[in-house]
Chains A and B, each alone.
Chain A
Amino acid sequence: MTKLPITIIGLGGVGSILAERLCRFLNYSSDLTADILLVDGDTYEQKNYERQEFTRMGNKADIKTTELQMKFSELRFESYDAFINETNIIEAIREGDIVFLCVDNHKTRMIISNYCKNLQNVTLISGGNEFTDGNVQIYVRKEGKDLTPDLCAYHPEIANPDDKLPEEMSCEELSNSDPQLYFTNLGVATLMCWSFYNVVVKEQYERSEVYFDILSMTTDAKIRIVK
């Protein structure tokens, strides 16, 4: 039985869906199990009803940890009530981790991608969306060598983000977030599960970025060259 060290960062529209599906797969797998760290500094509240899967109000990481532990007894869970920044990232990501990044800002993506570049072994699966489309990027690093490009390599908008970390935003900025479609969050979560299956279970990562578009009913996976 292989025990996977997994960290899920961000438990909103994408992360809360992803966590349930991933844990169901792992809990009933015959050869895989996991220690799972759930990370989010945000609070689940009434405005999240339409897209996010929680049974009560409170810190998202704490609630989801309790919920998942009750459902999936073969797995071990921990929660971390924090937004990730350059100081506390060391608490969340360690050597050899499989990291699912489900946040809503490029600055966090940039910090985490750059941090992972300094690890010897890490798998980073990052998803994001707009209203009806989205993408997932896979960054795999083994024995100190990039097997796929990091999140910034083909995305200058992540390398030089024009947004802020959640902790840098005012209450007004936080409450004025753009509307999102539940199905688009679901699409990102699904493609992140596909990515996990390809990379971790099948060890194939030739296609390290995939886009989807609900309106044109299409997905397209890209082969990216490590620069």
Chain B
Amino acid sequence: MGQTFNRAELEEKTKEQLVRMCVDELGIVGITKKPKEDIVNGILALYGADTSAIAKDVKGPVTGIEFTGQSTLTKPGAPFGQRATTTIHVSCGASSGNFPVEGKTVKEVGDFLREVLNVDRLSTGLVNGKEVGADYILQNGDNLEFLKPAGKKGC
């Protein structure tokens, strides 16, 4: 996906031009009958070049941006707004991945990913760096780590 756009250049175009771009160049379906604003947002969601997608709402100079990817485009063929699934970053030691586990407890996730991430049965869960109980329910924006024991050998 080498091609990128920013909001300003998209807003200069007419709705008809944007529809043609979606159909002929970008292969975007499902949004061409929406208002122009939605089409622009749809293109930016997939081909946004920079922070101009959010710049409209920012008051004063931008001094820093922190972004944690939490959504994965799991259903690219679905209508706009239903393509992404919220995922949570889960790690154990050097292994990690983004998984659709929002709403699950730490224990459920540990059981679910035991083999995939090599999670120890007694491993403590850290959410956003803080220890939580096994019954903690994961929310959008959480980052879950199962503590892996330290390596013992070396001599």
Contacts and interface: CB of A to CB of B under 8 A. Distances in A.
A126 B151 CA distance: 10
A103 B155 contact: yes
B154 A135 contact: no
A196 interface: no
A143 interface: no
B154 A10 contact: yes
Main secondary structure of the interface of A (DSSP, over half): mixed
B91 A220 contact: yes
Interface residues of A, number: 44
Contacts of B124: 156
A135 B152 contact: no
Instruction: Report the contact-size class of chain B (Cβ under 8 Å from the partner).
Output: 10 to 19
A166 to B, nearest CB: 8
A127 B153 CA distance: 9
Interface in A144-160: 151, 154-158
Nearest to B145: A222
B149 A225 contact: no
B150 A212 contact: no
Interface of B: 91, 93-96, 124, 126, 129-130, 145, 147-155
Contacts, number: 91
A15 B147 CA distance: 25
A127 B154 contact: yes
A129 B95 contact: no
A223 interface: yes
Interface string A101-144: 01111100100000000000000001111100111010000000
A55 interface: no
B154 A102 contact: yes
A103 to B, nearest CB: 6
Contacts of A216: 94-95
Nearest to B96: A220
Interface string A10-38: 10111100000000000000000000000
Contact of A128 (B126, B145, B152): B152
A157 B154 contact: no
B154 A213 contact: no
25 contacts: A12-B154, A14-B154, A14-B155, A42-B155, A103-B155, A104-B152, A104-B153, A127-B151, A129-B151, A129-B152, A129-B154, A130-B152, A133-B93, A134-B151, A135-B151, A163-B152, A177-B153, A177-B155, A178-B153, A213-B94, A216-B95, A219-B94, A220-B91, A220-B94, A224-B129
